[in-house]
Amino acid sequence: MMLQEDFRKEAHFDLLLNDSSAMRLILIFTLFIIPLFSTGQSNLCKTDGKIDPARDSLKFHHFQSLLSYNLANPQIQNRSVQYFPVVIHVVSRQTTNPVSEAQVLNQLDVINADFSGNGENILKLLSEFVPLLGRGEMKFCLATVDPNGQATSGITFTHTDIPNIALQSGPEGRIAVFYDQLGGKTGWDPTRYINVWIGEYGDFLGSASFPGAAPFSEEIGIVIDPQYFGSIGEAGNSGVYGRGHTLTHEMGHFFGLKHIWGKGFDANCDDSDDVPDTPNAEGPYFGCPSGQRISCNSSDMYQNFMDLTDDRCLAAFTKGQVAYMQSAIETYYPGLAVDGECATYTDSYSDWYAQLIWSYDASSNTYVIYSDEILDQVRKVEVYGVDGRLAYTNYWDDQQTHLMNLSALASGIYFVRIAGDGNKYFVRTIVLY
């Protein structure tokens, strides 16, 4: 089965729960078949045997029971916010880390907004699907303490000489990016951290291990090609998948979600993603469709994060998908969530402004303002020219980053005004070249 050039290309373990409640795991792409990538053609989606994670295990039956309960009781799904520590392992052939702290914080802002139902495309969601919108009480935070109890930035950097390291394998089929001894980076304890590796991945965007299905515990986590991590840095030039929603999609897989149409890429109405409120679809969508699209006698939710449309199109998870993920978390990752917040909150506007970091991201023609703290109030960001004319306006809510795309403005001197509650505001001068 050949994927078209604009497909969201990925390699992952695809979970199937059939009508008899049997579970089988199919490896969609064989990572060891490296010669595939020297042909110059689109990637092949190749089934490579069956992996069975003990379908009769108590853990699997517990998952089924939890899922049935959560689906039947959606009103109590959102108990309290769960915080998940994330560590970003950058494995690169560059001699210095190509992924900035701003890029990481921006990516986490994107995925947190997506999971909460407040992503950048939410207002584009077709009206017929608005009642299905799921809001996951999940927040993803950079880890602040490493496995040895030491303070950490939550970002590691490993230099490697291996091209497309996420496609290379060693003894027993172990994938190189996951191991120090194979030229990659050994992850942190997967029962305490969500490991996300950033490494060259050929023509693929990303991959994720499914709950209980990783062939080795060291390979529990997510891999993203650097071109598709966040929406600034290298991702700023990556085109239709450069808005940071690839990690949202793969995190859905990490928490057990299948593609919204089911498995494989053949047109088929007999398959399912095993989530009752996602409409049955014949297959994936690509690009960014508009209006109602029909297949399998129902309207297709092509704006779902588990479809393969462009980043500018992806908008929502459903309530059923949120229940599915929560059930997987309780069953397979019971110790992963931690108490606390993703960042320090402050109500001091002056202190918050004083520690802002300002940078310019040439790849995306974007000014990036970010903070280690979150100000517990909405701010208005405005940019004025020297003639006093307003050139840019937007709002900054409870995210750590704010991106100002000023590429439409001419070179010159501008004034950035950030106003908080009341009459408090600060002005900073910037120069565009």
CATH number at residue 26: 3.40.390.10
Q: Kindly state whether residue 191 falls inside one of the protein's structural domains.
A: yes
**For residue 296, what are its two tokens?**
């399998």
SS3 322: helix
- The Cβ of residue 179 has, within 10 Å, a number of other Cβ atoms equal to 18
Boundary-marking domain end, from 284, 311, 332: 332
Could you say which residues of the chain have pLDDT below 50? 1-53
**For residue 269, what are its two tokens?**
């109405």
SS3 405: strand
Domain that holds residue 158: 13-332
Fill in the amino acid letter for 90: V
Q: How high is the pLDDT of residue 75?
A: 60
Boundary-marking domain end, from 286, 306, 332: 332
How many angstroms separate the CA atoms of 428 and 254, rounded?
Answer: 42
**For residue 156, what are its two tokens?**
């590691």
Q: How high is the pLDDT of residue 308?
A: 92
Total-model pTM: 0.84
Q: How high is the pLDDT of residue 132?
A: 96
Longest distance between any two alpha carbons in the chain, whole Å = 72
Q: DSSP letter at 44?
A: B
Same domain, 160 and 283: yes
Same domain, 368 and 221: no
Q: How high is the pLDDT of residue 64?
A: 73
Same domain, 350 and 304: no
Same domain, 220 and 361: no
Question: How many folded domains does the chain comprise?
Answer: 2
Same domain, 318 and 376: no
Q: How high is the pLDDT of residue 313?
A: 96
Same domain, 264 and 390: no
Q: Kindly state whether residue 3 falls inside one of the protein's structural domains.
A: no
Residue tagged active-site, from 250, 282, 330, 373: 250
Same domain, 234 and 363: no
Fill in the amino acid letter for 261: W
SS3 257: coil
Same domain, 181 and 234: yes
Same domain, 268 and 216: yes
Q: DSSP letter at 342?
A: S
How many angstroms separate the CA atoms of 121 and 310, rounded?
Answer: 11
Same domain, 294 and 365: no
Identify whether 382 is a catalytic site residue. no
Q: How high is the pLDDT of residue 347?
A: 80
SS3 262: strand
Q: Kindly state whether residue 374 falls inside one of the protein's structural domains.
A: yes
Same domain, 361 and 323: no
